[in-house]
Amino acid sequence: MEIPVPMARCPVQEQRARWERKRARTARELLETERRYQEQLGLVATYFVEILRAKGTLRPPERQALFGPWELIYGASQELLPYLEGGHWGLGLEGFCPQLELYTQFAANAERSRTTLQEQLKKSRRFRRFVRLQEGRPEFGGLQLQDLLPLPLQRLQQYENLVVALAENTSPNSPDHQQLTPFHQSRVKEVLGMGLRDVAPGAARLISETAQRVHTIGQKQKNDQHLRRVQALLSGRHAKGLTSGRWFLRQGWLLVVPPRGKPRPRMFFLFSDVLLLAKPRSPLHLLQSGTFACRALYPMAQCQLHRVFGHSGGSCGGLLSLSFPHEKLLLMSTDQEELLHWYHSLTLAISSQKN
């Protein structure tokens, strides 16, 4: 009786099988989540945008400020979904990419949208009643309008993760490969004689670049919110415009250790280029209670930073030394972890200015 000889393993075929399994899982997830995404886009388009337009509850400028290019984004998803359902991933995503600019526009309008929603809910009883009525529909499943408005930006992040994974696990022999990868295989010979800027980008790269632009827009909007908040905390004529054009890093109380006498608590605001030292206004002040008076601005480009003590990880706090051309600051905290965060933030600000 002959003993069957086991077939030799083929690492290449095994790797291709793994890629195909990952690709199938990713494609299925992209399809299922796109269906849910389109359903939620449609709920807002139907029960909010269209009805608000018909009823005139909001004026056109306010409606545009609230929803931005929502209906166009909904239309782009309606065009994409049939391709995904038919298994034409590359062709569908390639055709979808020209619509990515809508997501950049939506991100640029996001802060204005949030502000408009808050303002209209506060001042318009009619709009408030309308929103409550629509959110109570069973189709929304308990979701509120404010939960649904960030949906396109969340979906863009999903697009990036899923499409990049799809591209990475698509075989070069697949018909989808040309649309998903950085350049069309049919143009390989042409590309060898071109600069990189002439190479036709694939869907994965275009979506990733759009996601990065949207992330940058979001970071700037968050920074602007911080700057407005800090500016509102500062009082006095010298405080006007102190935060303009800067990137906010952190704020908090630290003890200023003088050459003689007891340490004094002061509020510090760290920006990308300066450290602002502020003193709290008297709580008895009628108009400026709860605000801070700016006492000094220290340029980070001229700062030399050292940890005097607080390296050991103990619970006794620590001391930082900040040296400037005409002044030296000793800053103390009884919370060593908090002081460590300050040290890292100050180091980041100093290196960004010197580089």
- Note the pLDDT of residue 285: 62
Q: What pLDDT, on the 0 to 100 scale, is given for residue 5?
A: 52
Q: What is the pLDDT of residues 228-271, one digit of tens each?
A: 999 989 887 767 778 888 999 999 999 999 988 899 999 999 99
How many CB atoms are closer than 10 A to CB 97? Answer: 18
> Residue 12 has what pLDDT?
65
Beta bridge partners of 277: 268, 296
Contact, 283 vs 292, CB < 8 A? no
Task: Look at residue 199 in the predicted model and tell me its pLDDT.
Answer: 34
pLDDT of residue 3: 62
β-sheet bridge partners, residue 255: 265, 332
Q: Go through the domains of the chain in sequence order and give each one's CATH number.
A: 11-224 (1.20.900.10), 236-354 (2.30.29.30)
3-state secondary structure the chain: CCCCCCCCCCHHHHHHHHHHHHHHHHHHHHHHHHHHHHHHHHHHHHHHHHHHHHHCCCCHHHHHHHHCCHHHHHHHHHHHHHHHHCCCHHHHHHHHHHHHHHHHHHHHCHHHHHHHHHHHHHHCHHHHHHHHHHHCCHHHCCCCHHHHCCHHHHHHHHHHHHHHHHHHCCCCCCCCHHHHCCCCHHHHHHHCCCCHHHCCCCHHHHHHHHHHHHHHHHHHHHHHHHHHHHHHHEECHHHCCCCCCCCEEEEEEEEECCCCCCCEEEEEEEECCEEEEEEECCCCCCCCCCCEEEEEEEEHHHCEEEEEECCCCCCCCEEEEEEECCEEEEEEECCHHHHHHHHHHHHHHHHHHHC
What backbone torsions phi and psi does residue 68 show, to the nearest 5 degrees? 55, -140
Give me the chain's average pLDDT, please.
Answer: 86
- Tens of each residue's pLDDT in the chain, 355 residues: 556 655 556 776 776 777 788 888 999 999 999 999 999 999 999 999 999 999 989 999 999 999 999 999 999 999 999 999 999 988 899 999 999 999 999 999 999 999 999 999 999 999 999 999 999 999 999 999 999 999 999 999 999 999 988 888 877 767 776 767 754 444 333 333 333 333 345 888 899 999 999 999 999 999 999 999 999 898 877 677 788 889 999 999 999 999 888 999 999 999 999 999 999 887 766 566 778 989 999 999 999 999 887 555 555 678 999 999 989 999 999 888 899 999 999 999 999 887 7
Separation between Cα atoms, residue 42 and residue 55, nearest integer Å: 18
